[in-house]
Amino acid sequence: MKFRKMKAVLLTTALTVGMAAPAYAAENPGNTGITYGEQIGVVNAFNKPFTEEEWQKIKAEVMAKDPNMTELLVESLRAEWEFDWDDAPDPEYERLEKEDNGSGEKIRLYKGDTAERNQWYEVNDVLYSWVHSDNEGYLYQNQWLNENGRWFYFGEDYYMSQGWKQIAGDWYFFVVHRTAPISGDRAFGEMTANQWLDFRYTYENTWYYVDASGKMVTGWEKINGKWYYFDENGRIKSGWLKDGDKWYYLDEYRDDYSMVTGWRQIKGTWYYFDESGAMLSNCTKKINGVNYTFSASGAWIK
């Protein structure tokens, strides 16, 4: 039997509430036999009764997540969620225990009476929930792990992050089980870096980019010799862009989205963008030995 998550807490998603942040439309697990409690994140590693405070919190969050769940229905499921035995516990199975390590209460991974050190452990093999123990057997929490050059992050709930995760104010993307909008050889849960993230086939229909440190890019970014612009939520911009008092054009016709320089015809009108990408306007400019005049809107006056 696999013991499930730490005592009676609702699983958090990879996305926290705040800015209009990037999101990953995860696949529906479909007919995998998972219980309603597992679907909405109610799992219990220790199979002990909830305290009244724990239960009231869980009940409130369940009812907020599912408007069809009345208080009476949630109360009827309490016993099922408190105790979830598939078979008798085996002392040789890996298990999680709460302990005080001197700096506060922590969760420790055991096999039998021995702490499991520097080990991966799948807490729930349906929800693909993984944790990792340190060299004392305590689970990583709000910590980075570098394993053979691959970076992983474990959140407040001890779980390995998947999808978008905000850490110290910056957004990162960690490979999601089964599907991920990335290319290349990346491990499940690994932080992506120097990577385009293709969300064109989700409801967002956009691209993101994460830099060498794994942080989601916003604003101007030079990638492989070309300049791109990403809005405050990390979504790539295309078409006209006003930045300060200057206008730029980001190539939408070639599905490239890179900043345009030089001449460009847009909807039948010719414009010229200097080497910085700024559109010329309300001026006369000598280009390749020929004087050209541009109106206040930037259109070339023939």
Which pLDDT tens digit goes with each residue over 23-71? 322 333 233 333 445 444 554 544 456 778 878 888 888 888 777 777 7
Q: In this model, does residue 128 exceed pLDDT 50?
A: yes
Number of other residues whose CB lies within 10 A of the CB of residue 185? 5
Of residues 56 and 79, more confidence is placed in: 56
The predicted model gives 104-121 an average pLDDT of 86
Number of other residues whose CB lies within 10 A of the CB of residue 27? 10
The predicted model gives 157-177 an average pLDDT of 91
| Average model confidence (pLDDT) across the chain | 78
C-alpha R_g of the chain: 26
Three-state SS for 279-301 is: ECCCEEEEECCEEEEECCCCCEE
Amino acid at position 2, single letter: K
Nearest-5° angle of CA 213, CA 145, CA 101? 140
Give the three-state DSSP class for 202.
coil
Number of other residues whose CB lies within 10 A of the CB of residue 214? 21
Encoding tokens for residue 275? Answer: 């080497």
Of residues 177 and 190, more confidence is placed in: 190
Query: What is the reported pLDDT for 21?
Result: 36
Query: What is the reported pLDDT for 296?
Result: 94
